[in-house]
Chains A and B, each alone.
Chain A
Amino acid sequence: GQNIDQPTEMTATEGAIVQINCTYQTSGFNGLFWYQQHAGEAPTFLSYNVLDGLEEKGRFSSFLSRSKGYSYLLLKELQMKDSASYLCAALDSNYQLIWGAGTKLIIKP
């Protein structure tokens, strides 16, 4: 079956760095997405990786290892507004997105 695993909840301190991990098992693979979702709002696109390695975009970076079925989202210089859920999703061989349940990130002052 197809499966995405990510931690349910994480807590970090304002100004710190946090890494949110995601492992995936899909029928074929055409890329890995990260989305941010604030409470009561729609998911918004953060990053897309299809090749191995690190993609940096400001305070956020995303890493992919295809051989390990593993990705992480790295958030630096955490701000209170980064409190949200972070959704990992893998694109399978049919170009359908398989979604994880999301990681709720709580930022403390």
Chain B
Amino acid sequence: IAGITQAPTSQILAAGRRMTLRCTQDMRHNAMYWYRQDLGLGLRLIHYSNTAGTTGKGEVPDGYSVSRANTDDFPLTLASAVPSQTSVYFCASSDSRGGPDTQYFGPGTRLTVL
């Protein structure tokens, strides 16, 4: 069982370029999330999806977009990258239909925008 996979593991990107971070889960979880983690700050929610076909904005959505065409995949797109988007990005999923809604995280993507 793979759980959640993310790609790429790391990326260096020129400012102004478009970039899509990929996230796939095989746990059939209904909810998925994208966070960014910066030194000294807590995890900050970018976008989320409670079920396939729906998405919502988190705390820091500007400059990012997501789609949820099916249960397993939840890509995050930076339309025109800026240096302030340099961060570690984590995808997570949960089965929010019952229980404590524990989130399970992918290994992360380390993104540097120059």
Taking Cβ atoms with an 8 Å cutoff, the residues of A that contact B are 4, 31, 33, 41-45, 48, 50, 87, 89, 91, 95-102
Q: Say whether A33 contacts B102, CB under 8 Å.
A: yes
Q: Interface size of B by Cβ–Cβ distance < 8 Å?
A: 19
Q: Which of B44, B102, B104 contacts A48 (CB 8 A)?
A: B102
Residues of chain A lying within 8 A (CB to CB) of residue B40: 101
With A43-B90, A48-B100, A50-B100 in contact, do A97 and B45 touch (Cβ < 8 Å)? Answer: yes
- Some 21 contacts from A to B, beta carbons below 8 A apart, are A4-B42, A31-B101, A33-B100, A42-B90, A42-B107, A43-B43, A48-B100, A48-B102, A87-B42, A87-B43, A89-B42, A91-B100, A91-B101, A95-B96, A96-B45, A96-B48, A97-B103, A99-B42, A99-B43, A99-B44, A101-B42
A95 to B101, CA, bound (A): 8
Known contacts being A31-B100, A50-B100, A95-B96, is A43 close to B105, with CB within 8 Å? yes
Contact B102 A45 (CB under 8 A): yes
Residues of A with C-beta under 8 A to B103? 45, 97
Q: How many residue pairs between the two chains, A and B, have CB atoms under 8 Å in the bound complex?
A: 45
Which residues of chain B have a CB within 8 Å of any CB of chain A? 40-45, 48, 58, 90, 96, 100-108
A27 nearest CB across to chain B (Å): 13
In the bound assembly, the distance between CA atoms of A96 and B107 in angstroms comes to 21
> Does A44 lie within 8 Å of B105, measured CB to CB?
yes
Give the distance to chain A from B59, nearest Cβ to Cβ, in Å: 9
Please give, as numbers and ranges, the residues of chain A lying within 8 Å of B108 by CB-CB distance.
41-42
Q: Which residue of the partner chain A has the closest CB to B50? A: A95
B77 to chain A, nearest CB (A): 21
Complex alpha-carbon distance, A4 and B43, angstroms: 11
CA distance A4 to B101 in the complex (A): 19
